[in-house]
Amino acid sequence: MRPETWYAASQPQPARPGVAGVIEVETAIVGGGLAGLTTALALARAGQKVAVIEAQQVGFGASGRNGGIVSPAFACGSDAIEARVGRDAARALHRLTIEGVERVRATIRELNITGAQPVDGLLNLRRHDRAQDLKDWVQDWARTYEYPMTYLDRAAIRERLASDRYLHGVADPQAFHIHPLAYLLGIASEIENLGGLVLENSPVLSHELGPVKRLRCARGEVQARRVVFAMGGYTTRLVPALKRAILPIATYMIQTAASPDLAQAIRTTEAVLDDRRNSDYYRLVDGGRRLLWGGRISTRDASARGVAKSLRAAMHEVFPQLDGIRIERAWSGWMGYARHLMPQIGRLGPEEWHITAFGGHGLNTTAVAGKILAEAILGETDRIALFSPWGLSWAGGPFGLIAAQMTYWGLQLQDRWRERGL
C-alpha cells in the first residue's frame, strides 16, 4: 500500500521551471490548483500575461487528488443559501453551478484533454427511508433550471449496485466524473500555449502589495500590476485575512487493486455519492478494473495505513462481498472550508483579489468562479457580487477546528440515528 495518489501515478507531471530572477507580468496568481488555474486560463484567453506561482506542483493539493465528481452543488445547502440571500439570488447561484459543470466539459473538449476521461452519470443516494424531498428536488430542478434528473427507488438502485444500504436516490445524467489531475495539467499547458507562465516549487515567502505587487520566492520574485490569491486548504500566513478565514479540512481516499469482483458489486459506470455528512463517494476507474473510494472528513491528516483502515471498513459496510479486495494506495489531502460553507471570492485591496474555500465541491464551482473573477478583473461583468454576502468570516482558529470536528461527529450520530429509524 502506497501513499502516492492514483492520480499522480497514472498522470506523470511534466517538469516546469520555478521562479528565478525578476519576472514581470500583468497578473500573478498564487496557487496552482483548480481556482488559480481556471482564473489564469480565463485571463490568458483575454490576452493578459499571467504567471501562476505554485509552492509544490500543479494540482499537488486537493485539486489534483480528489474524487473527480463534477456536479452542480455547493458545500452549503440550498435552504441555507436561500435563507441568506432570498430565492432569486439563490437560483442565480444554482445556475452558476450548472454553468460550472458545462464549463468543465467544454474545457476538456476544447483543449482535447484526452487523459481527463469524462464518464457520464452520478447517483446521489440515501441510506434512510425518506423519499418525498428527493422527488420534489427532481421536479424543482426540471421546472426551474431545465435540468432533468430521475428519482430511483430501492429496486432501481439494486439494478446498479449489489448493496442493501441504499433505499432511495436520484440519477443525474448530466453530472460526470473525470481524472482531475489530467484536467488541471491540460489547463496548465493551455495557459503556457497562450503565453502565460506556470511556475512550480516556488513558495511565496513574502510580498509587497503596493502599486507594483512583488511576490518574493527563494530564487527570485514576480512583479505584477495585480495579484490573485488562490491557496485553498494550503493557505499560509502570507495573507493573514485569508488564513484566519479558512478551515483546512482533511479528506481521505483509497484505490483498490484490480479485481473481477468489482463488476459483481458495481454494475454501473456512474459515480456514486451518498447524502450523509459522513458520506461515501466512489467510482470505477482503469476501465472498471479498480475502485476509487473516498469519504470521511477530519481536522487532522492521517497516515496511509489509518486512511486505508477507515475507508476499507466503510467500503465493506456497503459491499460485504468485497471483503477480500486489496488496497493498493491510500492518501489524504486538505480542502479549504469557510465557516459559512460558501466560496470566498472577492477583493482584498487595490488590484488584490482572492478565490478560495470551495469546500470539497471545487471542480464545477472553480470552473465558473475563475471565469467570474476574471470578468470582474477585466471589468466585463459584476457577477462576482452574487458571492458578496459570504465574505472572509473568521473561521475561529484552533477553536474553529475543534468546533468543526465536534459538529462533524454530531452529524455522524444524526446519520446513524436516521439510518436506524430513530
What pLDDT digit, counting tens, does each position of 69-91 carry? 999 999 888 999 999 999 999 99
Model confidence at 417, pLDDT cuts 50, 70, 90, reads low
**CB–CB of 151/142 below 8 Å?**
no
**6-403: what CATH class?**
alpha beta
Helices 87-110 and 362-377, packing angle to 10 deg: 100
Model confidence at 14, pLDDT cuts 50, 70, 90, reads confident
Least confident range of 22-31, 71-80, 214-223? 71-80
Determine the pLDDT at residue 205. 97
Phi, psi dihedrals of residue 42, rounded to the nearest 5° = -60, -40
Helical spans, DSSP H, in 111-153 = 132-145
Single out the residue of 285, 274, 270 nearest to residue 159, CA to CA: 270
Q: Following DSSP, what letter does each residue of 225-245 receive, concatenated?
A: EEEEE--GGG--TTSHHHHTT
pLDDT digits (tens, 9 = 90+) for 299-341: 566 677 788 888 999 999 999 999 989 999 999 888 888 888 8
Model confidence at 374, pLDDT cuts 50, 70, 90, reads very high
- How far apart, in Å, are the Cα atoms of 158 and each of 59, 66, 119, 318, 368? 36, 26, 21, 12, 35
pLDDT over 50 (residue 422): no
- How far apart, in Å, are the Cα atoms of 225 and each of 9, 18, 258, 386, 394? 37, 20, 50, 25, 28
pTM recorded for the entire structure: 0.93
DSSP summary character for residue 15:
P
Dist. CA 294–CA 65, nearest whole Å: 10
Model confidence at 344, pLDDT cuts 50, 70, 90, reads very high
Domain boundaries, the chain: 6-403
Dist. CA 171–CA 373, nearest whole Å: 31
pLDDT digits (tens, 9 = 90+) for 157-172: 999 999 999 999 999 9
Amino acid at 268: T
Exposure string for 268-288, b = 16+ CB within 10 A, e = fewer: bebbbbbebebbbbbbbbeee
Helix/strand/coil percent split, the chain, to 5? 40, 25, 35
Identify the residue with better confidence: 202 or 245.
Answer: 202
Residues 6+ apart with CB under 8 A from 171: 121, 122, 123, 124, 149, 150, 152, 270
pLDDT over 80 (residue 3): no
Averaged over 235-259, what is the pLDDT? 90
Determine the pLDDT at residue 389. 95
Mean model confidence pLDDT for the chain: 91
pLDDT digits (tens, 9 = 90+) for 273-303: 998 877 899 999 999 999 999 987 665 666 7
pLDDT over 60 (residue 198): yes
Dist. CA 311–CA 322, nearest whole Å: 12
Amino acid at 419: E
Least confident range of 179-188, 215-224, 320-329, 408-417? 408-417
- How far apart, in Å, are the Cα atoms of 107 and each of 1, 96, 247? 34, 16, 30
328: helix, strand or coil: strand
